[in-house]
Structure 1
């Protein structure tokens, strides 16, 4: 036993009875080698269904396969919320594994998930978050997001970090050395609606942490309206991404152009601090109805108009750019236009959409 590597599967649960059996079965069916031992660490966050009874049942089932099931209960009667990080932190607090494998109770591991990610973890630096490709159920739910997350080039996993509502490798696929969690200091417990995964991911990157994706589908990711993700407002994600962009990118630029003179570009301009609004030298677009005119910002609070911002054709615009155009929505026209300028992402432009 002393020569085995312990991997802790971390599962936060609130009213998980519809999914516990399929989730735990997928853990039971993991194809692990003799040098690996598993434990399953659960925080039962004041569930009001029969989660507790199911956990008692699975304690015996796992024990028969030499897998230890550890459970810590929030017995206050009031759930603190799995999304805000409380339950993840609590589950990790009772874990002992060298590696942490994150799993949502409504998702299903493929039989080779842990073995594939563990093999990569052994050869990658210990400060690496390792994700994987996934499939959604029901099929055809969030197609664009799934395709983007599964196909984003690996060299862009730490670059294209302002284009989605979450990290470039989704939280339920994370596998990492315990040092990653310790270095970041745990998940935010900031309250309901806090995007704790994105906050953790940004801090991980700020500390020099690395990101890797195993290019195999190792997880079935369930899409349903009761998922905790839906409690996070889009405006909260926008604000978090903007704050990091201003701190880590725009503060190093003397001036820049906003690529998109439409709704998203204007929203971005108004979201900027005054300091960074002053750095905007133009907006660029392809719409002939906009090019050659100017956007005049208007502050509804002061009822005053701001300094006009010229709108130019993208071919006449000066980098660096903050690109406020959603990718893969124009039949490749936007991507072709961007490619024609021979720019380098993260130096000459940043995608923010």
Structure 2
């Protein structure tokens, strides 16, 4: 949930009191999930004025029929419903739809909801209470995955992050919005209760975002926010991901890489990594050392929760402080 303050767009008719919270709901061909999603809006126990702002992004199924049916139910329960959309031949994307739903909303706070997800009845109330206590923060929550065995590591990771790790490790789907929020001095707070059923399925909007696009934005943010504070640093992982990060850096950032570190004896025995595609002469040869011989700060390119705790134990043994001595990039 995030503070909004956006005016309603194109409103016609008698003036109405603005909502305290607007639920922002982009919709595209969401027929299989909409009934359960909209039922969860109806079941919210939030007592302040609540608005549902829907933007239909060129749905070709029965989404609009379902929306019109639920509009009557929701409004009879005192929930304002604003519906926008377009019927162009092609959808314009989830980001566009969210922006349009925000523009037509009236709430002071925005609560983002995907059409294939389900809110627990306490979600709006608890996140709104947290937003009032932390007015410069994006408010998250723990989630439950559906089906339960999908993305087990990811779900466990996001639900167990400590408060300070929400900034050092958190990588949300809405990456550009999140990064700009941090640039403006914002913070991130999580309500430590599972308030959202988060569905994983092949048609989810998450799958439409290219991994290479996300990677590029993450690298640029790393170079903008962290690397300027370090004269040199070590990349923890001399394998594929660590080398990929090195190659993705600007030339100036690459020159700050003092070494790669690893536990793989074969990589350590070779002694160096040579960046063959470099235009520099001679080509850079970066030392590869055991992690205990490496010097912080580290950019860690090792995935968590994959080694039975061995990597995590190795990291803890160094008694380092996250954010100061290392950052996760995995």
Give the Cα–Cα distance (whole angstroms) in 1 for the partners of residues 284 and 177 of structure 2.
37
Give the alignment partner of residue 93 of structure 2, picking from 75, 81, 86.
81
For the 8 Å contact 1:44–1:87, the answer to whether it is kept is: yes
Give the Cα–Cα distance (whole angstroms) in 1 for the partners of residues 91 and 195 of structure 2.
30
Q: How far does the alpha carbon of each residue in 1:156-212 deviate from its partner, in whole angstroms, 9 at most, with x for none?
A: 111224xxxx32xxxxxxxxxxxxxxxxxxxxxxxxxxx6x1110011011110111
Q: How far does the alpha carbon of each residue in 1:232-274 deviate from its partner, in whole angstroms, 9 at most, with x for none?
A: 1211111110011011111221111111111211111111111
For the 8 Å contact 2:275–2:284, the answer to whether it is kept is: no
**Given the alignment of the two structures, is residue 129 of structure 1 paired with residue 106 of structure 2, yes or no?**
no
Could you tell me which runs of 5 or more consecutive residues in structure 1 were left unpaired when the two chains were aligned. Answer: 168-194
For the 8 Å contact 1:136–1:146, the answer to whether it is kept is: yes
**Given the alignment of the two structures, is residue 108 of structure 1 paired with residue 85 of structure 2, yes or no?**
no
TM-fit CA distance, 1:284: 1.1
| SS at structure 2 position matched to 1:264 | helix
Give the Cα–Cα distance (whole angstroms) in 2 for the partners of residues 5 and 233 of structure 1.
35
Give the alignment partner of residue 334 of structure 1, picking from 311, 315, 319.
311
For the 8 Å contact 1:297–1:305, the answer to whether it is kept is: no
Equivalent residue number for residue 171 of structure 1? none
Alpha carbons of 1:275 and 1:230: their partners in 2 closer, same or farther (altered >3 Å)? same
* Worse-matched range after superposition: 17-26 or 53-62: 53-62
Give the Cα–Cα distance (whole angstroms) in 1 for the partners of residues 91 and 329 of structure 2.
34
| SS at structure 2 position matched to 1:327 | coil
Equivalent residue number for residue 157 of structure 1? 166
**Given the alignment of the two structures, is residue 256 of structure 1 paired with residue 256 of structure 2, yes or no?**
no
Q: How far does the alpha carbon of each residue in 1:144-163 deviate from its partner, in whole angstroms, 9 at most, with x for none?
A: 000000010012111224xx
Give the Cα–Cα distance (whole angstroms) in 2 for the partners of residues 48 and 67 of structure 1.
26
Equivalent residue number for residue 62 of structure 1? 74
Alpha carbons of 1:305 and 1:106: their partners in 2 closer, same or farther (altered >3 Å)? farther
Give the Cα–Cα distance (whole angstroms) in 2 for the partners of residues 39 and 3 of structure 1.
11
Give the Cα–Cα distance (whole angstroms) in 1 for the partners of residues 92 and 274 of structure 2.
41
Equivalent residue number for residue 289 of structure 2? 312
TM-fit CA distance, 1:32: 2.2
Alpha carbons of 1:298 and 1:304: their partners in 2 closer, same or farther (altered >3 Å)? farther
Calculate the aligned-residue CA RMSD, in Å: 2.0
Give the Cα–Cα distance (whole angstroms) in 2 for the partners of residues 7 and 18 of structure 1.
26
TM-fit CA distance, 1:300: 4.6
Give the Cα–Cα distance (whole angstroms) in 2 for the partners of residues 304 and 139 of structure 1.
52
Equivalent residue number for residue 19 of structure 1? 33
Q: How does 1:138-287 map to 2 (within 5 A)?
A: 138-161=147-170, 166-167=171-172, 197-287=174-264
Aligned length: 315
| SS at structure 2 position matched to 1:154 | coil
| SS at structure 1 position matched to 2:54 | strand
Could you tell me which runs of 5 or more consecutive residues in structure 2 were left unpaired when the two chains were aligned. Answer: 1-15
Give the Cα–Cα distance (whole angstroms) in 1 for the partners of residues 254 and 56 of structure 2.
46
For the 8 Å contact 1:128–1:211, the answer to whether it is kept is: yes
TM-fit CA distance, 1:215: 0.5
| SS at structure 2 position matched to 1:328 | coil
For the 8 Å contact 1:292–1:310, the answer to whether it is kept is: no
Give the Cα–Cα distance (whole angstroms) in 2 for the partners of residues 160 and 98 of structure 1.
28
Give the Cα–Cα distance (whole angstroms) in 2 for the partners of residues 143 and 81 of structure 1.
27
| SS at structure 2 position matched to 1:19 | helix
Give the Cα–Cα distance (whole angstroms) in 1 for the partners of residues 86 and 190 of structure 2.
33
Alpha carbons of 1:65 and 1:266: their partners in 2 closer, same or farther (altered >3 Å)? same
Give the Cα–Cα distance (whole angstroms) in 2 for the partners of residues 257 and 61 of structure 1.
58
TM-fit CA distance, 1:4: 9.1
Give the Cα–Cα distance (whole angstroms) in 1 for the partners of residues 325 and 267 of structure 2.
23
Q: Deviation above 3 Å: which 4+ runs of structure 1? A: 2-5, 298-305
